[in-house]
Amino acid sequence: MSFSRELKARTTKVWEEGYNHPFVQEIGQGTLNKEKFQFYLLQDYQYLLQYAKVFALATVKAENEDMMTLLSGIQHGILAEEMNLHREYMAGFGISSEQMLSVKPSLFNRTYTANMLAVGQTGDLSEILAAVFPCGWTYWDYAIRLKKQYADRLEGNFYRTWIEKYASFDFANSFEWFYDAIDEIVTRKTDAGRERVAEIFASSVEFEYLFWDMAYKQEMSYCL
């Protein structure tokens, strides 16, 4: 198994706790409280604005035209497609544009995105990819498993569109290139450098878990 594919195995405990979190499981069951999902959408909207900036920083660190083109295309996809999906969902909740733009990111949200932006500023391309990779990889893995586990409940599930989007071939294909890109760069790293990449990846998996937990509890900070 390649270095990049082994990264998931190194985070098995928190990865599985993320999948088994009530927020994720209740999406699959179709029972998640819609106010919690609304909270998640508003926070994720703010998250994606910062996530797009990390890809801009990755583009700066890219060493060839093909990678620059790929990374800038992903940034455009986040802003033009991913954000539109959130706007459609939020419109379904009756959330106005003013609400969407005025909501403050939670402490958990700010901490996660600040960590990614810090890696974007100081790390090389493999480290930046390791910081953002868990977002796409966990969503795809969880959605695929939810779709299979709750196949008999998808009909009429309010969250079916969300599940099917992230379980789709197109979504999986959108991050498939990460594996080879990370593997190619780490061949030039020392053992300590590769361990640094793995640690960054693990931190983002932990932040993904905390994001689900934050949304489920509708927490703006550790005490609110």
Angle at which helices 34-61 and 107-122 pack, to 10 degrees? 10
* Residue numbers annotated as active site: 135, 208
Distance between CA 75 and CA 27 in Å, rounded? 27
3-state helix, strand, coil in the chain (%, to 5): 80, 0, 20
User: What's the chain's average pLDDT?
Assistant: 93
Q: Which tokens belong to 119?
A: 């890696």
How far is C-alpha 26 from the geometric centre of its chain's CA atoms?
18
The Cα–Cα gap between 125 and 59 comes to: 8
Q: Is the pLDDT of residue 119 over 80?
A: yes
Over residues 138-149, the mean pLDDT reads 97
Among 70-79, 103-112, 214-223, which range has the highest average pLDDT? 103-112
Q: Which band of pLDDT confidence, cut at 50, 70 and 90, is reported for residue 224?
A: low
Q: Could you give the percent of the chain with pLDDT greater than 90?
A: 81
pLDDT in tens, 195-217: 999 999 999 999 999 999 999 99
CA-CA distance, 37 to 40, in Å (whole number)?
Answer: 5
Q: For the whole model, what pTM was predicted?
A: 0.94
Instruction: Tell me the per-residue pLDDT of 14-49, one tens digit each, with 9 for 90 and over.
Output: 999 999 999 999 999 999 999 999 999 999 999 999
